[in-house]
A and B are shown apart, each in its own frame.
Chain A
Amino acid sequence: MSVSIQQDDFDCIDEYKLLLADAPKIGAIVTFCGLVREFDQGQGLALELEHYPQMTEKVLLGIIAEAKARWPILNVRIVHRIGRLSLSEQIVFVGVNSEHRQAAFKACHFIMDLLKTKAPFWKKAISQQGDYWLAAKACDQRAKAAWE
């Protein structure tokens, strides 16, 4: 189980290989990667990501522990970037391995839904229309509530 909060980009293949290192016990690896998509009708330039050091790691490790209690997963890796990220840059990586695919699929989905609503990160949009803080979305809260 490991969590990294970093400014630098990450390599999904390297992260995947770390999860592959648990072979031959594992039968499945599920990964998710979130990117900065275009916004403000093409006028968006970048996102600036801020977080609450210490609490972020604590919350993410707590989410992993919750996922482990729900499904028989073996290992989890979370990488989340902070700082200024341009369009199409990678923001977040979640990878889960397990013996069988269902546990890895569900745990990966669960971890992302909880990360979006519980981990103390905030995004500021840098746009030709002006800079502004993004508001939390009701659909993310509903996605989290669906796991309760």
Chain B
Amino acid sequence: MIKILFFASLRDQLACESASLCYSQSLKNIQDVIALLSERGEIWHKQLNSASVKVAVNQEMADLHTAIKDNDEIAFFPPVTGG
């Protein structure tokens, strides 16, 4: 199982703070995860394919080509604004 988290404005827009995906061999990288989540609807497709969206795998910054494996924690979020 892969755990997915959404934060801040992205969570609000998707009206979803977390999701789980069953791991399969076809989920090789972040791009594959985005493609699968995009099937949930137009808003998912639009938000997750936005150029500004950031992604982390197991709390480390990642990109579309980052490989994933079973039990990973993937987080999607907008650019950070702390400090």
User: Which chain A residues have a beta carbon within 8 Å of chain B's beta carbons?
Assistant: 34, 49-52, 54-55, 58-59, 80, 91-92, 112, 115-124, 133-136
**Nearest Cβ in chain A — how far from B12, in angstroms?**
8
**Interface size class, chain B:** 10 to 19
Q: Are A134 and B59 in contact (CB under 8 A)?
A: no
Given known pairs A50-B8, A52-B5, A133-B8, the reply for A121 and B59 (CB within 8 Å) is: no
> Which residues of the partner chain A approach B82 to less than 8 Å between Cβ atoms?
49, 51, 80, 91-92, 115-116, 119-123
Tell me the bound Cα distance from A136 to B83 in angstroms: 11
User: Which chain B residues have a beta carbon within 8 Å of chain A's beta carbons?
Assistant: 5, 7-9, 12, 56, 59-61, 75, 77-83
**Nearest Cβ in chain A — how far from B56, in angstroms?**
6
| A-B contacts at CB below 8 angstroms, number | 71
> Which residues of the partner chain B approach A134 to less than 8 Å between Cβ atoms?
81
**Nearest Cβ in chain A — how far from B19, in angstroms?**
16
> Which residues of the partner chain B approach A51 to less than 8 Å between Cβ atoms?
82
Counting chain B CB atoms within 10 Å of each CB, the highest count among A50, A92, A115 belongs to: A50
